[in-house]
Amino acid sequence: KQEVTQIPAALSVPEGENLVLNCSFTDSAIYNLQWFRQDPGKGLTSLLLIQSSQREQTSGRLNASLDKSSGRSTLYIAASQPGDSATYLCAVPTSGTYKYIFGTGTRLKVLA
Amino acid sequence: DTGVSQDPRHKITKRGQNVTFRCDPISEHNRLYWYRQTLGQGPEFLTYFQNEAQLEKSRLLSDRFSAERPKGSFSTLEIQRTEQGDSAMYLCASSLARPQANVLTFGAGSRLTVL
């Protein structure tokens, strides 16, 4: 059974800081891993999809890495801005399926 | 195509009533997912479809819950005899069935309040 854990649960940083969000999963037989952003009361917005054959994926100030063997992914946000304040969620499929399991998220607050 | 649409956005109902939510996915997407999310938690998987076939249904989905995707396009999620514990945001997502391109695209969600 796939279980996904995200650490820290909440994070508050001053504007301009670089930061790392962590996601760990128990079943490493995955096709890919996805990172999402969720603003309060809204749906989820896809940020990055990283395939199991990739080690990194980048989009603007965001960089996601994947280490399947250790069951870990990190989301790196460079030069954080107040507009980055949101909850960040990772999602991983269960073995052999496309049923995605989500972590509980990291609530990020970037202070101006 | 403007993305994944969910209707209604908000529903307030009394305990014991039935409610139905509708999801219209992105037109070329053949996978469709339903999730439930409560405050402070990540989305919990409920069920998913590939075309019209329901591939998996969570044990969280009691016999009061049913989902359909009759023609492989839009989907409905019905909750019968609602309970206060059903109050949550119900999220729909769709994706392509290609491993290299199965990014989940979510709708804005349908918020259910059971009084």
Per-residue pLDDT of chain A (112 residues; tens, 9 = 90+): 889 999 999 999 999 999 999 999 999 888 899 999 999 888 999 999 999 889 999 999 999 999 999 999 999 999 999 999 999 999 998 877 888 999 999 999 999 9
Q: Torsion over CA of B63, B75, B12 and A107, rounded to 10 degrees?
A: 90
Task: Say if B40 is an interface residue toward chain A (CB within 8 Å).
Answer: yes
Q: Spell out which residues of chain B touch residue A31, defining contact as CB-CB under 8 Å.
A: 99, 102
Could you tell me which of B35, B34, B14, B21 has the C-alpha nearest to residue B84?
Answer: B14
Burial of A5 (0-12, 13-18, 19+ CB in 10 A): middle
Q: pLDDT above 70 covers what percent of chain B?
A: 97
Interface probe with B: pick from A98, A104, A106, most Cβ of B within 10 Å: A98
Return the structure tokens found at A87.
């909850």
Closest CA to A6 of A101, A109, A110, A111: A101
DSSP run (H or E) holding A9: none
Residue numbers in B near A34 (CB within 8 A): 103-104
Mutate which of B33, B34, B37 to test chain A, going by most A C-beta atoms within 10 A? B37
Q: Which residues of B touch A43 (CB under 8 A)?
A: 4, 91, 106-109
Nearest CA in chain A to B96: A98
Would the CB atoms of A103 and B42 count as touching at under 8 Å?
A: yes
Q: Which residues contact B16 (CB under 8 A, 6 or more apart)?
A: B81, B82
Examine the pLDDT at B16 and tell me if it is beyond 90: yes
